[in-house]
Amino acid sequence: MTDAILVLEDGRTFRGEAYGAVGTTVGEAVFATGMTGYQETLTDPSYAGQIVTMTAPHIGNTGVNGEDDESRRMWVAGFVVRDPARRPANWRATGSLDDELVAQGVVGISGIDTRALTRHLRERGAMRAGISSGGLSAEELLTRVRAAESMTGADLAPAVTANDPYVVPAVGERRFTIAALDLGIKTATPKALAALGVETHVLPATATAEDLLAAGPDGVFLSNGPGDPAAADYAVEAVRGVLDAGRPLFGICFGNQILGRALDLGTYKLRFGHRGLNQPVLDRVSGTVRVTSHNHGFAVDAPLDRPTDTPYGRVEVSHVGLNDDVVEGLRCLDVPAFSVQFHPEAAAGPHDAAPLFGRFVDLMETARTGDAQAGGPPPQVEHSTAEKSA
């Protein structure tokens, strides 16, 4: 067993054993509370640049398989677990997680008090951290950590995006074609759309509005992705172009933040973010609560109690996180655009929010028929009654 250390930028140090690749890594320390789905988490591009602590103690039990990757590789900067599995046990497993981490060069640490680390991050916020199983002392590692780039201001989407466009065909009859801006898109998203008869043309993060609209898509989709939305001006510009064109638009996660910025709303960094599969979100129109998959360190700043006027007309907060009242969704009332901060594509996580893809399809249907009444006007939040009681 090789010793490993994890050092936070405020100097707190945890000592454990090397897990995955041996070496040294730095990144932003965050925690994820899902009890399943480590393979999806590791391959979710939104985790790029982050050292992810799994709060569930046993990781690797089901090994890895060829079906559950959410992108072409693992993206996390480092991986922190308490009790790695010694062997995979699942009928779909094709290998062990440990081996896969080694193969992909992901430096990890195991055997530390992950709950203590989580409580630390909860109280003091996500911060830079480093893991070393490469012989660095805690002091040396701390120096490197403090020299590392902060997540605030980091522009990471271009680093994770697929540089070459590709197409995910519809399953069965093709009903719509969309352009998706790949800011770090997960496999599950085009798959969910394909099941609804949508063909997705995935374009790189730096695609312009012209690129997105070039093929005359029925709608434009903005994916999830890593980094600070404040640093992704190129995407904001592209979205404004799409809004100007009046083309139906749906964004999730980072895409929600980009839409927010395109509407001149601000974004800010949450203290420790939302990363889990159990987050309650209130759909303020229907009044129902959905248990949703989250992975975001930044959020949109918008008033909850009234629609806001923007250069593209009024926008209202359609979804709100019940744990902390964070904005979890936006809906434009005067242009065909909406977005959510959470993950309707799940993977990992519950499927409660999957109907939102259907809402996007409805929006495109309405736009195509040119009949605003076909899908009806977007139902609005009743601000007088939809507030949380107490």
- What distance in Å separates the CA atoms of residue 71 and residue 236, rounded to the nearest whole number? 24
Residue type at position 337: A
CB of 127 to other proteins, least distance (A): 16
Nearer to other proteins, 26 or 281 (CB): 281
- What distance in Å separates the CA atoms of residue 123 and residue 197, rounded to the nearest whole number? 45
Which residue among the candidates 120, 274, 319, 343 is catalytic per the annotation? 343
Backbone Cα Rg of the chain? 21
CB of 2 to other proteins, least distance (A): 15
Nearer to other proteins, 91 or 384 (CB): 91
Answer yes or no: are the C-beta atoms of 75 and 43 closer than 8 Å: yes
Q: How many helices (H) and strands (E) does the chain have?
A: 10, 20
Which pair of structure tokens corresponds to residue 277?
A: 């599969």
CB of 265 to other proteins, least distance (A): 25
Which residue among the candidates 70, 253, 328, 332 is catalytic per the annotation? 253
- What distance in Å separates the CA atoms of residue 66 and residue 212, rounded to the nearest whole number? 31
Nearer to other proteins, 23 or 297 (CB): 297
Question: Nearest-CA neighbor of 292 among 15, 33, 25, 27?
Answer: 33
Which residue among the candidates 28, 316, 328, 345 is catalytic per the annotation? 345
Judge whether 123 counts as a catalytic residue.
no
Write out the residues near other proteins by the rule CB under 8 A. 14, 31, 33-37, 39-40, 55-58, 61-62, 65, 67-68, 82-83, 85-87, 89-92, 112-116, 118-119, 122, 272, 276-280, 282, 287-289, 291, 322-324, 346-351, 388-390
**C-alpha dihedral (257, 312, 179, 206), degrees to nearest 10:** -60
CB of 199 to other proteins, least distance (A): 24
Judge whether 120 counts as a catalytic residue.
no
Judge whether 332 counts as a catalytic residue.
no
| DSSP-assigned beta bridge partners for residue 301 | 266
Nearer to other proteins, 201 or 274 (CB): 274
| DSSP-assigned beta bridge partners for residue 268 | 299
Answer yes or no: are the C-beta atoms of 14 and 112 closer than 8 Å: yes
CB of 346 to other proteins, least distance (A): 7
Nearer to other proteins, 9 or 68 (CB): 68
Active site residues: 253, 343, 345
